[in-house]
Amino acid sequence: MICIPDQSPNKNVTMGCACGTKKDGKVAGCNNNGACSTGGCNKMNVFDWLSNMDVPAEDRFDVVEVRFKGGRKDFYRNVDKLSLHTGDAVIVESTTGHHLGHVSMQGELVRLQMQKKKVANDEEIKKIYRLATQKDIEKSEDAKKRESPTLYRTREVIQQLKLQMKLSDVEYQADHTKATFFYSAEDRVDFRELIKMLATEFKIRVEMRQISLRQEAGRLGGIGVCGRELCCSTWLGDFKNVATSAARYQNLSLNPSKLSGQCGRLKCCLNYELETYMDALKDIPTIDSPLLTEKGAASLQKTDIFRRIMWFGYKEENTWYPLNIARVNEILALNKSGQRPATLEEDKAEVREPISVLNSDLENLDKKFKNKNKQKRRPGGQKNGKRDGRGGGGGNRNNPSNPNRNNPNNRNNPKQPRKE
């Protein structure tokens, strides 16, 4: 994402820029020219489609959504009625001090988000202290520089203590008083000794927070098999249960290596088109047993859900026969009543004329010579090389009525020499 400063006279901010970089007192953007990826400004971005609506400051909803590292978001109350814009760096209240975050959403959309996530609008919502100054931003950057060394050192301590857990990320608070360690584990982990060692070594307050494998993939980010950034790291925040039945309904191969994402669980995108497939499958019959025909039993091989075509094949053949849904229902009705069609395509067998086995060779010869006689017919009434008398100067020379019978110039008379 390219951060472009807003040139309007009333807003000296960069809309959508969360880096907080300033120049001459104005937000200038990070100028990474699209190199932010999921770990930068565009992490869990949202579009405020109500931002152009002029709402008086006293009537605006006073709760603001603030984004932190890794796409983590929380709600804070703007008690001082600060003039905030998307991307502004703010100092917010924390359990043990204060933290720095960036405004991701405000206005009536925040009210809808709170209703969606079932967050009560009560006194438990923490407040926003002030807009972040340049000193606050520099202090926060120093805290981020401590995260990588702390992560590597903590992994070494985990190996020494032989704890069955995977540490994925560390987030320092902007005031350097607290660090949150995000980990994943299959079973319950006793990390009391680990907390003591970390608090003693880093002189901070330690908070261990367990996350799921999907949340871990969302924090780390990556590229999926589709060639795009992971949904969980760009826009997907609510993780729903994904069952293997979703792959069966969509006629996908039940191959774990193809159905699993980078988190090791079933891909979240299997649920995206599931409802469309479920609606299309309502009119497609369920085949519990092979279709019975006089030719044999035909088993279902493949179903094209949207084209509404089902392929069946016999055991002794390698050919698949495509049938539409109406034909399949018709055959099922016949089988239910105890009847069998002749084939998958026809209900009755084709009636053919009986052929004599003994005289079949003679009949074939007669047909062969009859066809040859038809081919020897020539235009003008000529047949078998003879003339039928329809033409001037032609005709049968042996015919008594032929005036050219005794003509010496007749070319057809072999007794007379032909004159040139």
pLDDT band at 395 (very low <50, low <70, confident <90, very high): very low
Q: What is the pLDDT of residue 233?
A: 87
Q: Which two tokens stand for residue 275?
A: 């409802």
Residue corresponding to tokens 């520089």: 145
Q: What does the alpha-carbon distance between residue 30 and residue 315 come to, in Å, rounded to a whole number?
A: 66
pLDDT single digits (tens) 255-305: 988 999 999 999 999 999 999 999 999 989 989 899 999 989 999 999 999
Q: What does the alpha-carbon distance between residue 284 and residue 304 come to, in Å, rounded to a whole number?
A: 10
- Closest of 91, 87, 66 to residue 76, by C-alpha: 66
Structural domains of the chain in order of their starting residue, each with its CATH number: 50-136 (no CATH), 146-217 (3.30.300.20), 284-350 (no CATH)
Q: What is the pLDDT of residue 60?
A: 78
Which amino acid type is present at position 8?
S
pLDDT band at 150 (very low <50, low <70, confident <90, very high): very high
Instruction: Write phi, then psi, for 361 (nearest 5 degrees).
Output: -70, -40
Lowest mean pLDDT among 29-38, 119-128, 176-185, 222-231: 29-38
- Closest of 398, 395, 394, 393 to residue 415, by C-alpha: 398
Lowest mean pLDDT among 1-5, 137-141, 183-187, 246-250: 1-5
pLDDT band at 235 (very low <50, low <70, confident <90, very high): confident
Q: How far, in whole angstroms, is CA 228 from its chain's centroid?
A: 11
Q: What does the alpha-carbon distance between residue 374 and residue 388 come to, in Å, rounded to a whole number?
A: 17
Mapped onto helix, strand or coil, the DSSP state of residue 411 is coil
Q: Which residue has the higher pLDDT, 371 or 347?
A: 347
Q: What is the pLDDT of residue 15?
A: 39
Q: What does the alpha-carbon distance between residue 63 and residue 81 come to, in Å, rounded to a whole number?
A: 10
- Closest of 331, 271, 273 to residue 305, by C-alpha: 273
Nearest-10 crossing angle of helices 192-202, 147-161? 140
Q: What is the pLDDT of residue 236?
A: 87
pLDDT single digits (tens) 314-350: 988 889 999 999 999 999 999 999 999 988 888 776 6
pTM of the model: 0.64
**C-alpha dihedral, 153 to 157 to 158 to 161, nearest 10°:** 180
- Closest of 136, 139, 73 to residue 102, by C-alpha: 73
| pLDDT score of 7 more than 90 | no
Nearest-10 crossing angle of helices 134-145, 147-161? 30
Q: What does the alpha-carbon distance between residue 122 and residue 7 come to, in Å, rounded to a whole number?
A: 37
Q: What does the alpha-carbon distance between residue 40 and residue 393 come to, in Å, rounded to a whole number?
A: 105
C-alpha distances in angstroms, 221 versus 28, 38, 42, 114?
Answer: 26, 6, 12, 26
| b/e burial code for range 159-180 (CB count within 10 A of at least 16 → b) | eeeebebebbbbbbbbbbbbbb
Q: How far, in whole angstroms, is CA 124 from its chain's centroid?
A: 40
Q: What is the pLDDT of residue 259?
A: 93
pLDDT single digits (tens) 26-83: 555 555 554 455 455 566 677 666 666 666 656 678 999 999 988 889 999 999 989 8
What is the 3-state secondary structure of 258-288? HHECCCCCECHHHHCCHHHHHHHCCCCCCCC
Mean pLDDT of the chain: 80
Q: What is the pLDDT of residue 393?
A: 46
